[in-house]
Amino acid sequence: MSTAVYLTKSRYTAGLQCLRRLWLNVHEPITWDEPESGSSEDIGIEIGRMAHLLFPGGVVVQEKPWEHAAAVTRTAALMADRSVPTIFEAAFEHNGVRIRVDVLERRARGYWGMYEVKSSGGVKDHHYDDVAVQIYVLLGAGIRLSSAEVLHVNKDYARGRKGISWPKFFSRVDVKTEAKRRLDGIEARLKKQRTCLSRRQAPAVEPEAHCHAPFSCEHWDHCTQSKPADWVFHMPHLSMTRRAELKTLGVESIAAIPDDFRLSPRQVIIRDAIRNGKPFIAEDLPERLDGFGPPAFYLDFEAFMPAVPLYSGTRPYQVIPFQWSLHQRDSDGKIRHRDFLAEADSDPRRPFAETLIAALRGTKLPIIVYSPYERARLTELAKHFPDLAKPLHSIMRRLADLLPVVRSGVYHPDFDFSASIKTAAPALCPDVTYEDLQEIADGGAASTAFWLMASGQTDAETSERLRRSLREYCRRDTWAMVRLHQALDALAGPSG
């Protein structure tokens, strides 16, 4: 077990979430890897670097986290050099707490202003704790602090024709008052965390909702490995209070929930399906499937949300659709497929919309989707391209969402408490699988792949490979919808 009992900003905030998480992070840490390109961690690092552009002449403290003493010495030297206006990654320590300040700006009369840089689109509650522990250390180290601000992404900013205006890309929010309020009791909290870290074993903390707020804990699998597969935590929409009642009764398994324990009708269906191993099929499933065909189309979109907007007029984290897949199922069972994948060197939205309109023109067949996502994207496109609004609204009027039918009309024990296409389709159609998709097997990976190409981070060979993977993944989603619809028709019987 490691003997390192010092605290850092990240350790402190982890301890606020869960003392067990703090202990495991220090004594049994998960192996750390460099963040993958396009991951949230990588985006956060990139946004931090972009914030440096707001402070010309700033100097970075280059020492690594494990070179803390050298980083503190380097910081002190830069602070003493009045020609240095701003210090990035400034290092300090007070009372066994180590911090690196994202931005430390020199002010008049020996004062300093600190900035915490966030890649989010606003200030979140836990950001105040980030800043509070830094203020604690800075004040303890004798730093005269005039301000404490959060620099976050301005989601209302639209990229101009000449590129990014970084002063407009970032928003500045003064958080000193609220952060200083959270200094109340910080000594007691730090003492509690040090005591926790001095123990030989991790504290016993029952996994619950706190494990996912404000962050999903990296030790979730470790802490829940002894829980049953049908652990009551997984029951949809079962409140923390109701889970506590079951714990008092000694019930951890959904199948073991007593018949007289109050559940919603949907929760009863899930419990009974798990208990007896048989799927639930609503008696009115045939009626629920009215209007879905066949014949019908099956439509799926892929989109990405670049933190730094790539196209003129777009905003940070704006949803940009770049790919669609369309299966067509005729009354005689014949199935056809077509798709669109935008080129990565320009704004994909207009060619996306125009090709989709052309593919669906001349027919009134229902267009089956599997969430409100496609409707939302079409609404945005119609607003952005008024000349395309009429055909896009025509498409929207034909959309038929299969997800509510599955949620209300069917439950299979293998749904794994989810009605997503990636669980529902394989459960009802064993021939449908995503496991053979090696490179791109979910929407997040698809989004990252297109972002890598659109931001110029791939060579020609890699781009071609990613494009093949994107086409296969999106095609798989609409094929899964076809097969799921066929399975539902079979469950509904001859009248379905």
Residues 147 and 36 in one domain: yes
Q: What is the pLDDT of residues 361-419, one digit of tens each?
A: 999 999 999 999 999 999 999 999 999 999 999 999 999 999 999 999 999 999 999 99
Supply the CATH number for residue 424's domain.
Answer: 3.30.420
Q: What is the pLDDT of residues 340-373, one digit of tens each?
A: 999 999 999 999 999 999 999 999 999 999 999 9
């320590």: which residue's tokens? 93
CA distance 88 to 61: 6
**Boundaries of domain holding 349:** 286-492
| Tokens linked to 251 | 């019930």
The model's pTM: 0.93
Which of 166, 192, 218 delimits the end of a domain? 192
Indicate whether 207 belongs to any domain: no
Domain total in the chain? 3
**Would the pLDDT of 1 be above 80?**
no
Residues 268 and 296 in one domain: no
Is the distance from CB of 481 to CB of 368 less than 8 angstroms?
A: yes
Residues 26 and 68 in one domain: yes
Express as a percent the part of the chain with pLDDT over 90: 95
CA distance 464 to 214: 38
Arithmetic mean of pLDDT over the chain? 96
CA distances from residue 332 to 18, 241, 293, 294, 378 in whole angstroms, order as listed: 58, 52, 12, 9, 30
